[in-house]
Chains A and B, each alone.
Chain A
Amino acid sequence: MMKSLLPQSGLRRSSVRGETGRPLGAAGAGADGAAADGGGAGAKAPASSTFWFLLHALCCLISLFLGFRFSRLLFFMLFSTTALYHSATTSSSAAVLRATTTTTTTTTTTTTTTNTFTLSFAAANPPPASLANRTALETAAMVKAGTSGNPQSHVVVGRHGIRIRPWPHPDPVEVMRAHRIMERVQEEQRRWYGVKEARQVLVVTPTYSRAFQALHLTGLLHTLRNVAYPLTWIVVEAGGTTNATAAMLSRSGLTYVHIPFPDRMPSDWADRHATENRMRLHALRVIRERKMDGVVVFADDSNVHTMELFDEVQKVQWMGAVSVGILAHTGAAEQPRLSEEDKQNMPLPVQGPACNSSGHLAGWHTFNSLPFSGKAATVVGEAAPVLPKGLEWAGFVLNSRMLWKDAEGKPDWVKDLDAVGENGEEIENPLTLLNDPSSVEPLGNCGKKVLLWWLRVEARADSKFPKG
């Protein structure tokens, strides 16, 4: 590169020769020769100039992409005397490809001449003392990684490649293993922090054959399958047991009792409500007969339950009440138009226990159905909001021993089950099972936590569903 790079110098030289040639004039041959020489030189100049131009452009482009590293590399390659570099090229390629697994390198050269280059290629400068050590290793061509100042460490300061495996996506087998690990961890958590003696959960569900029965029962089935406690599902079916329901129950994998109820379900909401109450009472009698032990939860097939509900009901002593969110829902796409005043006056649609400041039961929150008066549905399948009637059974849980004929410690404020509903009287809510309704225990942080949602959704009255 000591030779001049400039293409113009060649041209200048030929033109100078031409000029000096002219004043001579006498030697025409000399002038011709000079002209020819100049012409020849002129002909050669464009080729070399384009070559240099192209090289210059190439260097510019490379510097643009690789920047300082390339030019530093070039400088180093050309000026170092004993070049001990190795994978400097891989390091520069690491800038372009990100899938390499290389680390950075330091190139250290020490010579006995005045040329002493310590080029740390993006690595820590080793302290001057250790350079003396390196002269001994200079004879072998080797790569010395820039370390954290200490020759024994293999942790390198500086730029590293970002390791990405060829298929960075989840492996389904590993995902299943992780889920099993989490299940086991949660089981252990329950063992340490959860209830000590887990009681069986007896779930009472009244149902009947209609278009949405399979929909609702499947939802409830999946909820119950996730419950961590031993469970028995008591399904009372109006109009007798059907094969479809029996098949679904047997496929569920749950312990179940399928009880037929002789009456058919009426198509009027008020009557349906009353029939459901009688079906629940029937289930309670079965529990009493079979002396089933556990906590009784009333899970209507269309309701939505949280998992925390089943953890919370384990705490019940005799009878407990939980907060139920009421989803008064229409069949139509638009909700009923409530006036602004109504919206402001409407309390939260939650049914549940109300506590006083010392945490004792003081009363009940019930659903305010005034804004919906006149717009509520009366017939099943009508496109109007379905409202709950009074206190819904879903918000109450019982200790099954309360239903037994004789049980230890049964409090005297509990009526005997046989005395209830004998004369055909209507059982509105479970409080009629008690003599003294003030002994009900509020659950779920004194009713502040809503643990389940009450919802009634049925197919339109004119939808086709084969009866029977």
Chain B
Amino acid sequence: MAKASSMGSRRGWLPVALLLLAASLLSPQTAAAAGDAASGEAEHAVQQHSERISGSAGDVLEDNPVGRLKVFIYDLPRKYNKKMVNKDPRCLNHMFAAEIFMHRFLLSSAVRTLNPKEADWFYTPVYTTCDLTPAGLPLPFKSPRVMRSAIQYISNKRPFWNRTDGADHFFVVPHDFAACFHYQEEKAIERGILPLLRRATLVQTFGQENHVCLKEGSIIIPPYAPPQKMQAHLISPDTPRSIFVYFRGLFYDTGNDPEGGYYARGARASLWENFKSNPLFDISTDHPATYYEDMQRAVFCLCPLGWAPWSPRLVEAVVFGCIPVIIADDIVLPFADAIPWEEIGVFVEEKDVPKLDTILTSMPIDDILRKQRLLANPSMKQAMLFPQPAQPRDAFHQILNGLARKLPHPEGTYLQPGDTRLNWTAGPVGDLKPW
């Protein structure tokens, strides 16, 4: 009896053991298979060598705005746009040319509607940055009057401005301090944003937090950089990046700031004084013919503020795959809700400039490689450019995406008849003169 029971128990133990053995044999195989799949994916990702970009608004960089909004373009007399360009065609090449190209893009875009009653947004093609000095710098002194005159025209011609006092209108103001219309920061702050534009959406390059010249709901765009010129200077991507930090530009502006300390809030001067003898920093005021090629051979490109915090260097750095080092306190970068700039660039506060070499060399290598992968994403490069003719996912489309994300218009956009919120006589007396 005892023997039978012991034998029975042994036999009962055996199938369990067999099961366990089978399970142990199978699981490493599945683990291996899973491992293979994972490494295969990883390899695929490495081969793709770029990463998807998604900002605070989600993965919106590749959205198509067509069908999501309708834009009506006012027909302004030629003196507001075409005549200015004909008078000085340099307006098409300088860094403020976005206003002109945006107009041209919208004229032939699928979001354009000829019926203003169904439009979500209204665009006024007035070029306020096309009055150039002989040297090519735009004079902002007439811009407030030009803008005011344009708004008066559209409010008299059509009822849509008075319906909302401009809350569903947008304007492109690419100048130094946007709608403050001055190149000197103190004067720009004094003027503030043009009173008539208080309710409109401003599409501008200037962006700084808690600044008078940036109002809530503005869309920040990159400055215009000529896409064909940059394309022409592309070099083979396997050219090894052998420059650690690269910068070309002024450190002191002796013409406008002879005492020193005003230009760039002293940050550029600090860069020069601290790093002029550092072999890792290739910085100078030269104008080399190989500027674009050099950026493609550098790991970090400095983008410090100048008289205004924004500059085309950011666009160039992104297009050439060089990690931008942004030295401008509280700056707001283009399309900040679509592009997570903290993951792509390095932000250094102005007070930390003397420690810049320590900051950059102590960055973990994985961070640096990840930033380069994000920069290699073609959508990222496209979003910074204004190509002619327009291409999908370029800056024009990102602006439209931004406008589409602001829809539907909030409460308070449409006013009761007779209710006006704008003060047409506010501002300096000189602005009230007709143009």
Partner-B contacts on A (CB < 8 A): 94-95, 98, 101, 124-125, 127, 148-150, 152-165, 168-171, 174-175, 177-178, 180-182, 184-186, 188-194, 311
Contact = CB atoms under 8 A, between A and B. Distances in A.
Quick one: which of B189, B259, B262, B368 has the most chain A CB within 10 A? Answer: B189
B330 A174 contact: no
B241 A182 contact: yes
Given A148-B211, A149-B189, A153-B210, A178 B360 contact: yes
B260 interface: yes
B237 A182 contact: no
A69 B351 CA distance: 25
Nearest to B260: A162
22 contacts: A94-B261, A98-B260, A101-B351, A124-B186, A125-B186, A127-B192, A148-B210, A148-B211, A154-B330, A159-B259, A160-B266, A161-B261, A162-B269, A170-B280, A175-B280, A178-B360, A180-B365, A181-B299, A182-B242, A185-B372, A186-B240, A189-B241
B51 interface: no
A149 B192 contact: yes
Contact of A124 (B189, B208, B369): B189
B353 interface: yes
A163 B186 CA distance: 23
Interface string B346-359: 00000101110110
Interface stretch (B134-142, B271-279, B415-423): B271-279
Contacts of A181: 244, 299, 361, 363, 365, 368
A159 to B, nearest CB: 4
A127 B273 CA distance: 36
B212 A155 contact: no
Interface residues of B, number: 53
A180 B189 CA distance: 46
A428 B238 CA distance: 36
Contacts of A171: 357-358
B36 interface: no
What does DSSP make chain A's interface, helix, strand, loop or mixed? loop
Interface of B: 46-47, 49, 185-186, 189-190, 192, 208-212, 236-238, 240-242, 244, 259-262, 265-266, 269-270, 273-275, 277-280, 299, 329-330, 351, 353-355, 357-358, 360-363, 365, 368-369, 372, 376
Contacts of B275: 168
B253 to A, nearest CB: 13
Contacts of B244: 178, 181-182
Given A161-B261, A188-B369, A189-B241, 17 more contacts: A124-B186, A124-B190, A148-B212, A149-B211, A155-B329, A159-B261, A163-B354, A168-B273, A169-B277, A174-B357, A177-B362, A181-B299, A185-B368, A188-B372, A189-B238, A192-B46, A192-B47
Nearest to A67: B259
A155 B208 contact: yes
Contacts of B240: 186, 189-190
Contacts of B363: 181
A454 B269 CA distance: 48
A174 to B, nearest CB: 4
A169 B277 CA distance: 7
A171 B279 CA distance: 10
B293 to A, nearest CB: 15
Contacts of B358: 171, 174
A326 B210 CA distance: 65
A175 B281 CA distance: 10
Contacts of A153: 209-211, 330
B238 A194 contact: yes
A256 to B, nearest CB: 26
Nearest to A194: B238
7 nearest interchain CB pairs?
A: A153-B210, A193-B238, A165-B354, A160-B266, A149-B212, A192-B49, A186-B240
A219 B387 CA distance: 49
B357 A170 contact: yes
A152 B210 contact: yes
A449 to B, nearest CB: 12
Quick one: which of A154, A163, A184, A185 has the most chain B CB within 10 A? Answer: A163
A154 B208 CA distance: 11
B182 to A, nearest CB: 12
A124 B211 CA distance: 12
Given A165-B274, A181-B365, A158 B262 contact: yes
A161 B266 contact: yes
A164 B280 contact: no
A184 B363 CA distance: 13
Contacts of A194: 238
A450 to B, nearest CB: 17
A160 B261 contact: yes
A153 B265 CA distance: 15
Given A163-B353, A170-B279, A178 B361 contact: yes
Contacts of B330: 153-155
B185 A157 contact: yes
A186 B190 contact: no
B353 A150 contact: no
A270 B242 CA distance: 43
A186 B299 CA distance: 10
B426 to A, nearest CB: 13
B265 to A, nearest CB: 5
Contacts of B362: 174, 177
A162 B261 contact: yes
